[in-house]
């Protein structure tokens, strides 16, 4: 028997080449250069201060022994979509969400996830590395699975708000990072091969250390912004 995720993929196969053209258009557009130049800019810029941001530090954390595992940060970001329109998102305390037993993601695997990190600099500022590329990859995957997706601006704003609201969970420089996990799922009820009537875009975060602790796996890299 064909798996639900495979059935959806086959049903959307005709959109595959179109999705590649969409991604290529972004790469050639002026927006790509603009976002790339801003990728290492401080998260404090162009983002309204969050009412949810806690001033207290996470002094109880043993940053020197921080592994790569789930330690849920305080807040998550949620944005709903229906009729191809994403409503204004909001921050809330990290917690459980409700899903219908007949939701698209549970029955047909209609869901995507991304992964990125926020780092703390020596001066205390927080930085992200090329978040626009995560947004483009999410859009490409969503197109293939017949799902609407947030715009690049909406994606980056959601990630920034999540990072700022959980800034006390960003490890000190050299001790790790704040892992940020955006999700896009078919949350509306559906029976049969068809797009879900509602979608949920959700972002949560967790402080993490290096994936590998053994020095043999470490590798030094250099990143520049000159082309």
Three-class SS state of 81? strand
For residues 42-56, b (16+ Cβ closer than 10 Å) or e, as one string?
ebeeeeeebebbeee
Q: How far is CA 65 from the centre of its chain?
A: 25
Collect all residues with Cβ–Cβ distance below 8 Å to 45 and sequence separation of at least 6.
Answer: none
The pLDDT assigned to 38 comes to: 45
Residue 93 burial (C-beta neighbours within 10 Å; 0-12, 13-18, 19+): exposed
Return d(Cα 2, Cα 109) in angstroms, integer: 13
* Residue in 38, 46, 39, 54 with CA at minimum distance from that of residue 167: 54
Chain segment 31-87, per-residue pLDDT in tens: 323 333 344 344 444 444 444 445 566 667 766 677 777 888 999 999 999 999 999
Q: What is the CA radius of gyration of the chain?
A: 19
Residue of higher predicted confidence among 175 and 144: 144
* CA 7/CA 79 separation, integer angstroms: 27
Residues comprising the chain, all counted: 227
Give the C-alpha separation, 144 to 120, whole Å. 35
Helix (H, G, I), strand (E, B) or coil at 137: helix
For 90-132, write each residue's pLDDT tens digit.
999 999 999 999 999 999 999 999 999 999 999 989 999 999 9
Answer for the pair 224, 139: CB distance below 8 angstroms, yes or no: no
State both tokens at 136.
């483009």
pLDDT in tens, 124-171: 899 999 999 999 999 999 999 999 999 999 999 999 999 999 999 998
Nearest to 179 by CA among 149, 213, 155, 209: 209
Fold of 4-217: D-amino Acid Aminotransferase; Chain A, domain 1 (3.30.470)
């Amino acid at each position: 028997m064909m798996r639900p995720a495979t059935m959806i993929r086959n049903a959307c196969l005709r959109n595959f080449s179109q999705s590649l053209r969409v991604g290529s258009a972004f790469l050639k557009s002026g927006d790509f250069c603009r976002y790339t130049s801003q990728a290492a800019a401080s998260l404090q810029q162009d983002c309204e201060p969050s009412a949810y941001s806690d001033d207290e530090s996470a002094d109880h954390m043993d940053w020197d022994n921080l592994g790569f595992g789930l330690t849920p940060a305080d807040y998550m970001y949620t944005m709903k979509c229906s009729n191809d329109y994403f409503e204004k998102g909001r921050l809330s305390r990290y917690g459980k969400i409700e899903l219908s037993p007949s939701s698209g993601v549970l029955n047909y695997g209609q869901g995507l996830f991304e992964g990125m990190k926020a780092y703390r600099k020596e001066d205390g500022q927080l930085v992200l590395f090329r978040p626009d590329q995560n947004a483009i990859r999410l859009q490409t995957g969503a197109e293939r699975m017949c799902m609407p997706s947030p715009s690049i601006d909406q994606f980056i704003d959601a990630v920034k708000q999540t990072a700022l609201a959980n800034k006390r969970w960003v490890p000190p420089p050299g001790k790790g990072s704040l892992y940020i996990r955006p999700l896009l799922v078919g949350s509306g009820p559906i029976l049969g091969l068809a797009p879900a009537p509602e979608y949920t875009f959700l972002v949560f975060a967790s402080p993490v250390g290096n994936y590998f602790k053994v020095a043999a796996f470490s590798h030094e890299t250099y990143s520049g912004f000159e082309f």
